[in-house]
Chain A
Amino acid sequence: MSSSQEKPQLIVDGKRLDGRAFEELRPISIKTNVIRNAAGSAYIEWGTNKILAAVYGPTEALPKHTADPERAVIKCRYMMAPFSSLEDHGRTGPNRRAIEISKVTKEVFENVVLLENFPGTEINIYVEVLQSDGGTRAAGVTAAAVAMASSGIPMSDVPFGVSIGKIGDTLVVDLNKIEDNYSDADMPMVIGPKQGNLLLLQMDGNLTKEEVTSAISLAKKAGEVISKLQSDALKEPYLKTLEKYKNEAPSQQGNKE
């Protein structure tokens, strides 16, 4: 941010700076099959965040000492492009923040991917943030989950991510960059929608016990919208062709000719 200045007014007349209500998500759009070389891929635009996620594998785990004879191992790289922010040129290569996010993202997928189906292999997840405006880890996991599901690797659930923040005494959904910089708390979460379990949970700032509980239920509520978008993006290519040919009779394979 531009130097030290005092905190900007983040809520004016009951609305946030970008005009959103407290529990309102930014506009989100998700598209699958965007990287031809990958086993699965997804592109997400979340507000002005633009993020690509791709999944490769399972392939033989290399180097060999990283392999687990009982199950697949997941490797994850989350990165921010050096041109992704409105501020200065970012550094190239992973910094400590990116390494931590890669780790917690990896752990999300260790939970939902049926790893025991592919012993001795590795599955690679890549999350590349091309443009950032706050909440990139939640958006990145959301996209990576879609990429994973579209790859045909079996999963028990398609998790979503969202961040809940606190501005003054108000809990708000989905902090953008400027809110993130000046908020009183930020709590990014990833949740498996099937049982509502928390797969990623981080927090900094100040929250009461009650606020933590409320933040989780806000995240679940927002997740209904996000999960629907993920599901729609995954189904869209199949529904499109199904719809196109719905009036045709089922193929009579193996008849005359």
Chain B
Amino acid sequence: MKNTTSYEYIKELLSKGSREDGRKSNDFRKYTIEKGTMPNAEGSATVNLGYTRVIAGVKVVLGSPMKDRPNEGNMAMSAELLPLASPDFETGPPSPEAIELARVVDRGIRAANIIDLPKLFIEEEKVWDVYTDLYVLNFDGNLFDACTLAATTAILSARMPKYENEQVIREGNLGKLPLTGNMVTSCTFGSVAGNMILDMNANEESFASARLTIANDENVVRAMQKGLEGSFTEKEVADMLEVTFEKSKELRKSINNSIGE
């Protein structure tokens, strides 16, 4: 029994242009981004979005290149919906929800070319692999945007190990993970009782008929994912794109503030 509010109540509020926590339809909840929360990882960030809390941890490790890209390093993303985060998350292998989450966050970051993968080449058959793990510590909806914020911040603030005399050196004076200077954020909308709302909490998500995540940088859309059984009209998608480009300015600023650049 996770809903603290009935559908009728949410619907009534939305019809008056309001939401449970007093937000308007296109408002994010209060959020905080903190980098470097897990210093053993090369990069890390903790994001609180309302009561949703996630950590992204980046490890940079020795690997071998893909056959079709012999001169580039690799990136990989995975997500854990930890059973400690919600009574609805279960132990066991990653659920389809966790896999979708990791893949959508991965697509945005990959498409925006945030990591300079060719610079991760070390020598023939030796490259750096960048693993980003998304850890959901408390669930109250909108994991997509919280995880994209955490992953982007963790990657942008990651340090780079050194490879010397066939040894990986992870401590001491290290440089930064090679980056292209790009950045990506996302905005996730839901359709609840016929209303389009940004940044749903868990209650609202439980009543959403359709969901759309839009990941973008300053200029272009980088990834999208529609979810759930409902649908969107062309006009609704256009409206959501409009809001996304507007809202993402603030998100990018927050990331920059948190990494201190």
Contact = CB atoms under 8 A, between A and B. Distances in A.
A63 B139 CA distance: 24
B57 A83 contact: yes
Nearest to B2: A37
Interface in A17-64: 35-38, 41, 48, 50, 52-54, 56, 59
B246 interface: no
B87 to A, nearest CB: 6
Contacts, number: 86
B96 interface: no
Interface footprint category on B: 20 to 34
A87 interface: yes
A92 interface: yes
Nearest to A2: B167
B203 interface: no
Contact of B140 (A36, A41, A87, A128): A36
Contacts of B191: none
Contact of A35 (B41, B44, B61, B137): B137
B99 interface: no
Interface string B48-88: 00010001011101000000000000000010101111110
B170 interface: yes
B135 A130 contact: yes
Interface centre among A48, A81, A124, A131 (most CB of B within 10 A): A81
B140 A35 contact: no
21 contacts: A35-B84, A35-B85, A41-B84, A48-B39, A52-B84, A52-B137, A56-B84, A56-B87, A82-B57, A82-B78, A83-B38, A83-B44, A84-B41, A84-B57, A86-B170, A87-B170, A92-B80, A128-B82, A128-B137, A131-B39, A132-B40
Interface of A: 2-3, 35-38, 41, 48, 50, 52-54, 56, 59, 77, 81-89, 92-93, 124, 126, 128, 130-133
